[in-house]
Amino acid sequence: MGLTASIATAQDFSGQTLIVGTWGGDIERLLKEHAAAPLEEKTGAKVEFLLGGSGDRMAKIYAERQNPTMDVTFQNIYEAPQLLADDLVVAPDPELDIYETVWDGMNDGCYAMSLVGLGIAYSKDLVPEPPEWADMWKPEYNGMIAMAPYPSSEGDGLLGVAARLEGADEHDADVAFAKVAELGEPALTYTSLDEVFALMEAGEVAMAPMISGYVLAGLKEFPGIGFSFPTDPGPVLIRDMVCQVKNSPNPELAQMFIEYALSAETQKAYAEEIYFGPTNSTVKLSESAAADTINSPEEVESLLALDWPWLIEQRADWTERWNKDIMGQ
């Protein structure tokens, strides 16, 4: 039975609670509105959200592998294949209706939920034109680059870009770390958009590698800050995935929630409100949302794809090296 059929014939699940692990903020809000609410109305079940980082969810899934409590989890592009390889999530089923609506080749490990790119947020006062990656290394910006904490997709993306600027790639750690170290100690290790944007407006931060959706959604309140999708190399592809946890308490509800999450309605809301590009090929976007999102296989092909499985294997060693070489700790 396909996911669409499962919703159409949904039974009464009153008294059951579906646990969904995801990020907070706008993502939680949109999932509550477009996935949880219709599921609760259709089935009588309740949906509870477990909020936090994807790394925390990974750790929970491994710790509870014999008796999982989460039914659905949202993970990053590099985490989903690892979970599938370790037999902790249900593999995407090509026979299901919802599988066929997702762009070909994107259901890697779990179902592809949204598309974003790692680009550059920048102060329009300090950086007169939308920057390329190499512009971050100009002498006038030394020590004025904000960075995300490591480990993170932003940090891995920056290392991959830095290596390519020197004719290598992420597999050459020495080149990558040496190039990032040339930026100087980060002006800020940020944990929220607001703190980065505040220092950009104060003239203390010139640029920061950041994920497109979050930045574009926040720029409405910060007219003095811009966002650039570089071209040499291009933005780093980052894709969020939605996974059904294997042997979870509520597999039928989990499948139905995933269908609602991947529906054209939810995906359109993601794109129009928080600029996360859709993976559902049936979504029709407004002209403005289409211009600010990654929303087609052709655009995905133009992005820089890193060797995420290999990068994950380096995380422990690279975290120590990041703290020493980049943070000076």
- 261, 263, 267, 273: CA torsion to nearest 10: -80
Question: What CATH number labels 116-236+305-326?
Answer: 3.40.190.10
CA 15 vs. chain centroid, Å, equals 32
Q: In Å, what is the CA distance from 23 to each residue of 127, 213, 272? A: 31, 14, 18
Over residues 255-266, mean pLDDT:
97
The CATH topology of domain 3-114+239-301 is D-Maltodextrin-Binding Protein; domain 2 (3.40.190)
Spell out the residues 6+ positions from residue 293 whose beta carbon is closer than 8 angstroms to its own.
115, 212, 213, 271, 275, 276, 277, 278, 285
Provide DSSP, 127-193.
-SSPPPGGGGGSGGGTT-BEE--SSSHHHHHHHHHHHHHTT--TT-HHHHHHHHHTT-S-SEE-SSH
User: Cα separations (Å) of 139 from 101, 143, 201, 206, 274?
Assistant: 47, 9, 20, 12, 34
- Per-residue pLDDT, averaged over 162-169, amounts to 98
Query: pLDDT by residue (tens digit) across 30-73?
Result: 999 999 999 999 999 999 999 988 888 999 999 999 999 999 99
Average pLDDT score over the chain: 93
Query: What pLDDT sits at residue 6?
Result: 60
Looking at residues 188-195, what average pLDDT do you find? Answer: 90
- Domain positions in the chain are 3-114+239-301, 116-236+305-326
- Phi, psi for residue 205 in degrees, rounded to 5: -120, 130
User: Above 90 in pLDDT, residue 329?
Assistant: no
CA distances from 198 to 55, 89, 188 (A): 27, 40, 11
At 8, is the pLDDT very low, low, confident or very high (cuts 50, 70, 90)? low
CATH topology agreement for domains 3-114+239-301 and 116-236+305-326: yes
Separation of alpha carbons 183 and 69, rounded Å: 43
